């Protein structure tokens, strides 16, 4: 699937774009420079073409999807409302996460790359019986850009005309308007720890909007490598990276994606049972071995008081702290903030909540 016009791809390459095997722009040069553009002032603009987009239409769409996801879609009654939610299996484990956005006339589902190929669209369609619901994969026709940083809202204000000011948006609110004469939907969604906006627009319009946004001295193009560092520092778990289909969303510290007051949905019994027990058996946490320690590796075991309490799931570099940190699902009794666990063969690590790297800088 060609997600970019030839002209737009050529423009990205002239800007220095380097590509992953999955057709993502990984970087344009020095990742540290891209990180600083977002974290320390200014704006970073990213190509996000590999993210997937489903469009949902029909009078019964919200009520139908309400029975398949963890959050309360009835809060999306007004255009411009959005939320993060999860589709879970009958066992309460994540099938996919999604940012759901209500815009005039339809609902957008913003998905991780590869979600549709994994069978998610088929999963949804199997549950349509007689409901007035339409589902279409709009990934190939939808352009995606990201705008991140302290001055992100101001850049969007300056470059476009909007139904509602981007600067007025809270997380999980959307607006729509025009940039460079092209129709654009802007969703404010937490990603980097700084103001973060995801833009939806026509595939053919992406180049013109990208040029308009980047034609500003405060803007630097940023790739996925820098965005991943920023995201992990900010403590925003990503499906397929920090957690997967073996995990219940609560365990990944994603309680804000779950409503406990809504009606029944697939997998609700397991999710609610876990909540009513008070403490999940494990939690996603950040581990810090200190500035001078050897960096942990994926698969390193965690031990406390002679008992195995987890395994290192991922390692990331925090530029805010200048050292490697780790992610792990840590068992109950060892996941409290400030607890100390031994990383096998590497020394002691302190357990912290997600996002600790930014709080501690």
Q: Could you tell me if 147 and 221 lie in one domain?
A: yes
Domain count, the chain: 2
**The whole model's pTM is what?**
0.95
Q: Are 245 and 95 in contact (CB under 8 A)?
A: yes
Q: Could you tell me if 153 and 299 lie in one domain?
A: no
Q: Does 35 fall in a domain?
A: yes
Lookup: tokens for 306: 């002679």
Report d(CA 242, CA 113) in Å as an integer: 15
Q: Could you tell me if 204 and 286 lie in one domain?
A: no
Q: Does 269 fall in a domain?
A: no
Count of beta carbons in the 10 Å neighbourhood of residue 318: 19
What CATH number is given to the structural domain containing 151? 3.30.1360.120
Q: Could you tell me if 215 and 300 lie in one domain?
A: no
Write a three-state SS string for the chain: CCCCCHHHHHHHHHCCCEECCCCCEEECCCHHHHHHHHHCCCEEEEECCCCEEEEEECCCHHHHHHCCECCCHHHHCCCCEEEEEEEECCCCCEEEEEEEEEECCEEEEEECCCCCCCCHHHHHHHCCCCCCCEEEECHHHEEEEEEECCCHHHHHHHHEEECCCHHHCCCCEEEEEEECCEEEEEEECCCCCCCEEEEEEEHHHHHHHHHHHHCCCCEEECCHHHHHHHHHHHCCCCECCCECCCCCHHHHCCHHHCCCCCCCCCCHHHHHHHHHCCCCCEEEEEEECCCCCCCCCCCCEEEECCEEEEEEEEEEEECCCCEEEEEEEEECCCCCCCCEEEECCCEEEEEECCCHHHHHC
Q: Could you tell me if 36 and 156 lie in one domain?
A: yes
**Rounded mean pLDDT of the chain?**
95
Q: Could you tell me if 224 and 286 lie in one domain?
A: no
Q: What is the pLDDT of residue 361?
A: 83
Q: Does 109 fall in a domain?
A: no
Q: Could you tell me if 218 and 291 lie in one domain?
A: no
Domain end among 170, 204, 234: 234
Q: Does 197 fall in a domain?
A: yes
> pLDDT digit string (tens) for 308-354?
999 999 999 999 999 999 999 999 999 999 999 999 999 999 999 99
Q: What is the pLDDT of residue 263?
A: 82
Please state, in angstroms and as integers, the Cα–Cα distance from residue 211 to each residue in 51, 220, 269, following that order. 20, 12, 49
Q: What is the pLDDT of residue 1?
A: 75
Q: Does 178 fall in a domain?
A: yes
**Residue 39: which domain range?**
6-50+140-234
Q: Could you tell me if 26 and 163 lie in one domain?
A: yes
Work out whether strand 106-111 and strand 43-47 pair parallel, antiparallel, or are unpaired: unpaired
What CATH number is given to the structural domain containing 334? 2.40.30.110
Q: Does 85 fall in a domain?
A: no
Q: Does 82 fall in a domain?
A: no
Q: Does 270 fall in a domain?
A: no
**pLDDT tens series, the chain, 361 aa:** 789 999 999 999 999 999 999 999 999 999 999 999 999 989 999 999 999 999 999 999 999 999 999 999 999 999 999 999 999 999 999 999 999 999 999 999 999 999 999 999 999 999 999 899 999 999 999 999 999 999 999 999 999 999 999 999 999 999 999 999 999 999 999 999 999 999 999 999 999 999 999 998 889 999 999 999 999 999 999 999 999 999 999 999 999 999 988 888 988 888 887 765 567 899 999 999 999 998 899 999 999 999 999 999 999 999 999 999 999 999 999 999 999 999 999 999 999 999 999 998 8
> pLDDT digit string (tens) for 177-225?
999 999 999 999 999 999 999 999 999 999 999 999 999 888 999 999 9
Domain end among 205, 234, 263: 234
Q: Could you tell me if 160 and 20 lie in one domain?
A: yes
Q: Could you tell me if 30 and 145 lie in one domain?
A: yes
Burial class (CB in 10 A: 0-12, 13-18, 19+), 77: exposed
Q: Could you tell me if 155 and 216 lie in one domain?
A: yes
Q: Could you tell me if 159 and 215 lie in one domain?
A: yes
């Amino acid at each position: 699937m060609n997600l970019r016009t030839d002209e737009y791809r050529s423009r990205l390459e002239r800007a220095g774009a380097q590509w992953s095997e999955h057709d993502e722009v990984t970087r344009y040069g020095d990742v540290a420079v891209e990180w600083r553009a977002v974290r320390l002032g200014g704006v970073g603009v990213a190509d996000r073409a590999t993210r997937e987009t489903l469009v949902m239409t029909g009078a019964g769409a919200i009520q139908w999807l309400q029975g398949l996801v963890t959050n309360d879609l009835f809060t999306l009654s007004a255009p411009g409302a959005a939320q993060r939610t999860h589709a879970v299996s009958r066992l309460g484990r994540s099938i996919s996460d999604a940012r759901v956005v209500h815009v005039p006339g339809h609902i957008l589902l913003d998905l991780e790359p590869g979600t549709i190929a994994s069978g998610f669209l088929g999963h949804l369609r199997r549950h349509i019986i007689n409901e007035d619901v339409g589902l279409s994969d709009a990934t190939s026709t939808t352009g995606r850009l990201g705008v991140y940083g302290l001055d992100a809202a101001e850049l969007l204000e300056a470059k476009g005309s909007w139904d509602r000011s981007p600067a007025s948006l809270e997380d999980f609110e959307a607006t729509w308007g025009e940039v460079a004469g092209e129709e654009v939907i802007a969703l404010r969604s937490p990603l980097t720890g700084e103001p973060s906006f995801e833009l939806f627009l026509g595939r053919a319009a992406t180049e013109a909007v990208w040029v308009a946004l980047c034609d500003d001295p405060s803007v630097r193009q940023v790739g996925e490598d820098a965005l991943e560092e920023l995201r992990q520092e900010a403590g925003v778990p990503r499906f397929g990276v920090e957690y997967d289909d073996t995990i219940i969303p609560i365990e990944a510290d994603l309680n804000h994606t779950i409503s406990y007051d809504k009606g029944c949905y697939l997998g609700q019994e397991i999710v609610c049972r876990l909540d009513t027990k008070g403490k999940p058996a494990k939690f996603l946490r950040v581990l810090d071995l200190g500035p001078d320690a050897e960096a942990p590796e994926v698969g390193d075991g965690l031990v406390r008081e002679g008992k195995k309490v987890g395994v290192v799931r991922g390692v990331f570099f925090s530029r805010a702290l200048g050292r490697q940190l780790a992610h792990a699902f840590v068992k109950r009794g060892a996941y409290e903030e400030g607890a100390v666990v031994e990383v096998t063969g590497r020394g002691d690590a302190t357990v912290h909540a997600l996002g600790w790297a930014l709080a501690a800088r």
